[in-house]
Chains A and B, each alone.
Chain A
Amino acid sequence: MIANPYNSLDWNAVIPLLVVSVTALAVLFADLVARGGVKRVVCIAIGLAGLAVAAVLCAKSYGQSYSSFGGGFIMGGFTVVFEELIVLSAIFSVALYSAVGEARHLAGSIALLLWSAAGAMLMAGAGNLMTIFLGLELLSLALYCLCGMSRRTTARESALKYLILSSTASGFMLYGMALFFGATGSVSLAALANPATAASPLFLVGTALFFIGIAFKLSLVPFHVWTPDVYEGAPLPVTAFMSVATKAGALAVLVRFAYATLPSIHVREILLPLYVVAAISMLVGNLAALAQTDMKRLLAYSGIAQIGYILVALAGTTALGLRYAVFYLAAYLFMNLGAFAVVALMSTENEEGSRIAAFHGLGWRRPWLAAAMAFFLLGLAGFPPTAGFIGKVLILASAVGAGYAWLAGFLILGTAISLYVYFKILRLMYERDQQRAAPVVENSSALAWVSVGVCAIVTVALTFYPLVPSNIIPLVK
């Protein structure tokens, strides 16, 4: 006789996940039923509506604590915040699909995007090793297909590279998990949270392998080589989604592992390699961004540096640092996706706007768009009055407070280099000489404009009202 699985299922915990998954099916179904010109609108509307419902349902769990599947999935303030960020980035990506999506692939792409969002959400609440891996694979498998769904030839390169390299990283992670299981005899994270376990060599080797898998997903140097190539080839909305949601999912797993599982006496030593990798990422990401001629590649390298900043906030695993990391992740979401929306407004499905040359003289051709882009770039560089500025100040304060002044130093150094990266684009946009300008493409998709507007407003609003979530201690059960 086996236990009835219904007893360990708490609908409160999994309802946002279910809504997102079912919405994906509904999009596919609508694609079969709807005809003609309505099809496009219906698919996008269903996708956006489902995500909005999931966001609302998810917000209801803030301040609560639910656990499902025998502790395999844990819903609480921590999970809610990460799930909201993932759902938001999915909403923005669907909006970008309405601007530059290829009609032939639209419904399939939106459905896959929703499933990969569900995978990332699963990672955000994962309470045991199996759920972590399930979420990771759901996220990745959908993304492999999404990366290749474009007519451009680089898309195929992108999909294949991502498939091969990401599978290798998953292999590392799975090996690490196998060693965790060897050390404890359980797949639950709660079983790992035992000071006696942390001393065993199996656990330490497992942690190293586990971190390699996570560092790949976060695209930290030296596991970042795939990022620019995959970002460049993937369709623009997919790149936008990957740049935030994949990182949010992996970060949630890392944070739950570091905060709730690792024993506090060893945590500084065990996490030290991660901080070193973060420091290198901040330098390498910004230095490599200097040489790029493609906007998506530039944002890929900038993202490598930004995730380094977020890890600085986690230095010392303080509760305050976690709140600031989440705040910066949210700020990064709006600044980064805003920049992607601007690129979409300069592109058709061939993505002409992703070439940096396309920004030449943009300030004189389309002043509002250029102003928005300038604003997002200043935000990514950490200038007031943007959320990027306040986020960096908070991170610096937390790192210095936790005794990691050297990491704060690397953050400042990385930021100094990044100023040159972002100002190069600014200068290009407001250059008078229009001789060298690339062929101009105008896109005036309403949803993309709304995305730009929302991102810009939130980026300012977060400066004056820094909504740092308070109730987000990750749990294991």
Chain B
Amino acid sequence: MNPYGPVAIYLGVAMAAALLFSLVPGLLARSKPNPEKAEAYECGVEPTSSVSGRFPVRFYLIAMLFVIFDVEAASFYPWAVQMHALRVFGLVEMVVFVIVLAIGYAYVWKKGGFAWK
């Protein structure tokens, strides 16, 4: 059998299942629409305004900075796991990485990237 055979079968099954689950309820279920049914169920309150409101672009900046430093912190993980195998080279590599990170951090700080003004 072609090594990609199982992948093709999996793809077929996944698509068939998705189609089945989205089409069959529409065909079989009885439909009795009622405004009560569309309300927030048990927990939660009625929304008072549109959910897609406007909020300051600064949130994006903070979010972006968070993601960058978060990913960089995550890069420590594989190194920590393999630290003994990577030996001195790994340590030096990581120190260089931290220096690059620190310059980036200093740059963002000095340029007012963290200031909420």
Query: B interface, by DSSP: helix, strand, loop or mixed?
Result: helix
- With most chain B CB atoms within 10 A of its CB, the pick from A1, A4, A31 is A4
**Interface contact A6-B89, CB-CB below 8 Å:** yes
Q: How long is the Cα–Cα vector from A4 to B106 in the complex, in angstroms?
A: 32
Which one of B19-27, B54-62, B80-88 contacts A?
A: B80-88
CB distance from B37 to the nearest CB of A (A): 40
**Chain B, residue nearest A28 (CB):** B107
**Interface contact A4-B4, CB-CB below 8 Å:** no
Given A32-B110, A182-B4, A4 and B103 contact (CB-CB distance below 8 Å): no
B98 interface contact, C-beta 8 A: no
Per a CB cutoff under 8 Å, which of B82, B87, B107 touches A32?
A: B107
Q: How many A-B residue pairs have CB under 8 A?
A: 24
Q: 1/0 per position for B19-49, CB-CB distance to A under 8 A?
A: 0000000000000000000000000000000
Q: 1/0 per position for B92-115, CB-CB distance to A under 8 A?
A: 000000001001101100100000
Q: 1/0 per position for A31-47, CB-CB distance to B under 8 A?
A: 11000000000000000
A5 interface contact, C-beta 8 A: yes
Q: How long is the Cα–Cα vector from A29 to B104 in the complex, in angstroms?
A: 9
Q: How long is the Cα–Cα vector from A29 to B86 in the complex, in angstroms?
A: 30
**Interface contact A25-B100, CB-CB below 8 Å:** yes
**Chain B, residue nearest A182 (CB):** B4
Q: How long is the Cα–Cα vector from A2 to B89 in the complex, in angstroms?
A: 13
Residues of A within 8 A of B4 (CB): 182
- How many A residues touch B, CB cutoff 8 Å? 11
Q: How long is the Cα–Cα vector from A141 to B110 in the complex, in angstroms?
A: 23
CB distance from A175 to the nearest CB of B (A): 15
Q: How long is the Cα–Cα vector from A132 to B89 in the complex, in angstroms?
A: 25
Residues of B within 8 A of A28 (CB): 103-104, 107
**Interface contact B103-A29, CB-CB below 8 Å:** yes
**Interface contact A1-B85, CB-CB below 8 Å:** yes
**Chain A, residue nearest B89 (CB):** A6
Residues of A within 8 A of B100 (CB): 25
**Interface contact B86-A5, CB-CB below 8 Å:** yes
Given A2-B82, A32-B110, A182-B4, A25 and B89 contact (CB-CB distance below 8 Å): no
**Interface contact A32-B106, CB-CB below 8 Å:** yes
Q: How long is the Cα–Cα vector from A205 to B89 in the complex, in angstroms?
A: 41
Residues of B within 8 A of A6 (CB): 89
Q: How long is the Cα–Cα vector from A2 to B83 in the complex, in angstroms?
A: 11
Residues of A within 8 A of B85 (CB): 1-2, 4
Q: How long is the Cα–Cα vector from A28 to B110 in the complex, in angstroms?
A: 11
Q: How long is the Cα–Cα vector from A6 to B82 in the complex, in angstroms?
A: 14
Residues of B within 8 A of A2 (CB): 82, 85-86
Q: How long is the Cα–Cα vector from A25 to B87 in the complex, in angstroms?
A: 26
Closest 5 CB pairs of A and B: A6-B89, A32-B110, A28-B107, A2-B85, A25-B103
Interface positions of A (Cβ within 8 A of B): 1-2, 4-6, 25, 28-29, 31-32, 182
Name 24 interchain pairs, CB-CB below 8 A, sorted by A.
A1-B85, A2-B82, A2-B85, A2-B86, A4-B85, A4-B86, A4-B87, A4-B89, A5-B86, A5-B89, A6-B89, A25-B100, A25-B103, A28-B103, A28-B104, A28-B107, A29-B103, A29-B106, A29-B107, A31-B107, A32-B106, A32-B107, A32-B110, A182-B4
16 further A-B contacts with Cβ under 8 Å, apart from A2-B82, A2-B85, are: A1-B85, A2-B86, A4-B85, A4-B86, A4-B87, A4-B89, A5-B86, A6-B89, A28-B103, A28-B107, A29-B103, A29-B107, A31-B107, A32-B107, A32-B110, A182-B4
